[in-house]
Amino acid sequence: MKKSEPIANIYDNTILNNLYILKILIKISPMRVIGTFIDASVRYFGWVFYMIIFTRYILRSLDEQIDFKQITLFIAFSMVIFLLFELFTAWFNQKYKPISDQEIYYKMNRILFDKASSVDISCFENPDFYNNYTTAMSEAKERAILVLESMANLIVSTLSSIYVIYTMFTLDKFIGLLAVVPVIGSFVFGKVLNQLKYQNDMDDVPFNRQSGYVNRVVFLQKYAKEIRLSKVYHILVAIYEASYKGILKNVDKYKKKSFTLGFIQSIICYPAIFEGVWIYAIYRALVLKNLSVADCVVLANAMVAASNMLLAVMGNVLKISENGLYIKNFRVFLNYREKISENQDGCLVEGNVHTLEFKNVSFIYDGQTKPILQNINIKINSNEKIALVGHNGAGKTTLVKLMMRLYDVTEGEILLNGINIKDYNLKEYRKLFGTVFQDHQILSMSALENVFMSEISNEDQRNTGIDAMKKSGIYEKLMSLKNGLDTVLTREFDEEGAVLSGGELQKIAIARIFANSNSIIVLDEPSSALDPIAEFNMYETFTKTFGDQEQSKMVVLISHRLSSAVLADKVYVLENGKVVEQGSHEELIKTNGKYGDMFRKQAKNYIDEKIHLKMNKFYDIEGEAVC
């Protein structure tokens, strides 16, 4: 979904776009589709019946002095039929439709959620993707119902118009032709107005994103401290004001043309034609005397009905055209083909993981020209712990993302047990990894569910979660809360939810590692929010848990705190996307290169001598301070 990629002509086809949504609706709620067509038929039939058939019968019956009983029976029969129609309309619109609307909203959102969860990670860094995604999310469910109603109204109004125009032609061929004038005017002007509205909405998308962002930031708890302790609120207000002014500028850009076209359309399509038809019908009845009063009324009614129905036809055509423009975003989003398919099949990992190797790997993010990683060669063996260190932007986290196939390499290859990772079943391959990301996310669900990132299905799983939380050091804190391990984290939609500190939330994320049996452990700044004692305890637990040779686990550690690198069997120093140093902690200290320099600078800032000595003893280091 790159900006340079042309959107296929198929997505610009209005009919195909509407049929695309209609097909989804038939699958989601077939009874709603049938009910909508019946509802439209009832409405238009009633209109035609009373304007033409009923009026003609009553007036001609009076002229021909038909028996009163016969007229009464006709009226009574009409009342019964329309009472049944009204009962259906009331049931459909007041009882069935509101429930059906929610079903459609739910299932349309599920379709969008499923797609959003499977598209490439790179898409979320692409503003064009976000424009398509946000437009699809905001428009899809309402547009789906509009498409259904417009299609039903179009088909029924077209059939009704054909009957009414036929009736007019039997009375006066000139009037039949005149009925087409409002339709042509409505179509010509309406199409231009629709395009203007769509362009206006698309121009508003970036401003709506800005205002939506400010809305979220101002109301979310995680931003509350920064807003109150700084002047950032004024910047947010400025962003909101800029988006407001941008939208007003767009309104000003289109308003003059839209007003002029709309005014001309209303004059041509409505008063001029209707008044003109009445004058013409009266002239024939009173002056030329070649039209009965009954037929004069029927002709005028038919003209009004035909014009309104033809306008409805063209209105629905234009509405379908408008819907097609917005549905294009929905189709483009749903039909996006992932570079890395979440359902990719392939070979399974047999037995233990023995090696994971980067061979001449380079990587460039979409839309960039400078590689973030260049010619990386790293080999990790079973039971080996490596550390990736370097300054911000050196490429450490990107390397881990490539390892987990969140991205694919631009050049080179990554091998697991000698096989290219692209050849493995993707879901099974990713199950090998247990991760604690630097920007880990805590969801508004129970603490246990946050640890497993899934529902708790049995007592054994619960006990495993308890053990994991004890190891991460968060168990006692959670047990002190009212609902214990079942406490919902955050107060997003639970008033009794717990608001934990940054360090406590990080312990929840760390517990995920202990709760699952993964072969490859990835720790991206796992102790960034922990105090020194908690950090020491965490690494001590990691060593006890993953130091067992029988477990055959690999550990990849990313940390700016080089004290943790001491735990690694091998340290890789990255700079500008390249590995500039590698070796054990002791080897790199002796070479006195970049790693040694960084290590000594951090050591000077170490404050707590007791913890320093305790960590020295644990790491078995002599003569070097640990930070």
Tell me the pLDDT tens digit for each residue of 393-441: 888 889 999 999 989 999 999 999 999 999 999 989 988 998 888 778 8
Higher pLDDT, 224 or 290: 290
Specify the 3-state DSSP secondary structure of 444.
coil
Specify the 3-state DSSP secondary structure of 627.
coil
Q: pLDDT band for position 182 (50/70/90)? A: low
Q: Which residues pair with 581 in a beta bridge?
A: 573
DSSP state of 309: H
Tell me what pLDDT residue 183 has: 65
| 229-244 core/surface letters (b: 16 or more CB in 10 A; e: else) | eeeeeeebeebbeebe
- Could you tell me the two tokens for 456? 């708790």
Query: What torsion do the CA atoms of 385, 391, 392, 394 make, to the nearest 10 degrees?
Result: -70
Residue pair 47/123 in contact (Cβ under 8 Å)? The answer is no
Higher pLDDT, 141 or 45: 45
Tell me what pLDDT residue 425 has: 92
Distance CA 252, CA 299 (A): 44
Least confident of 303-312, 333-342, 353-362, 592-601: 303-312
Digit-coded pLDDT (tens) for 18-30: 899 999 999 999 9
Distance CA 606, CA 594 (A): 19
Distance CA 500, CA 510 (A): 15
- Could you tell me the two tokens for 170? 């039997």
Tell me what pLDDT residue 409 has: 94
Distance CA 90, CA 493 (A): 35
Sign of CA dihedral 208, 214, 217, 220: negative
Distance CA 52, CA 54 (A): 6
Specify the 3-state DSSP secondary structure of 553.
coil
- Could you tell me the two tokens for 25? 């609706």
Q: Does the structure show a pLDDT above 80 at 445?
A: yes
Q: Does the structure show a pLDDT above 70 at 296?
A: yes
Q: Is 168 exposed, middle or buried, given 0-12, 13-18 or 19+ CB atoms closer than 10 A?
A: buried
Question: What are the C-alpha distances in Å from 144 to residues 44, 101, 113, 443?
Answer: 22, 10, 16, 30
Residue pair 218/236 in contact (Cβ under 8 Å)? The answer is yes
Digit-coded pLDDT (tens) for 476-486: 998 998 888 88
Distance CA 236, CA 210 (A): 9
Tell me what pLDDT residue 596 has: 86
Tell me what pLDDT residue 612 has: 47
Average pLDDT of span 98-115: 87
Residue pair 390/576 in contact (Cβ under 8 Å)? The answer is no
DSSP notation for 184-222: HHHHHHHHHHHHHHHHHHHHHHHHHHHHHHHHHHHH-GG
Digit-coded pLDDT (tens) for 266-291: 766 666 566 677 777 777 778 887 77
Tell me what pLDDT residue 171 has: 75
- Could you tell me the two tokens for 369? 């020209």
Distance CA 382, CA 365 (A): 30
Residues 6 or more apart whose Cβ sits within 8 Å of residue 158: 313
With a pLDDT cut of 90, the percent of the chain lying above it is: 19
Q: Does the structure show a pLDDT above 80 at 299?
A: no
Q: Does the structure show a pLDDT above 50 at 538?
A: yes
All domains in the chain, ordered by first residue? 14-335 (1.20.1560.10), 355-442+500-616 (3.40.50.300)
H/E segment holding residue 308:
helix 293-334
Which amino acid, 414?
Answer: I
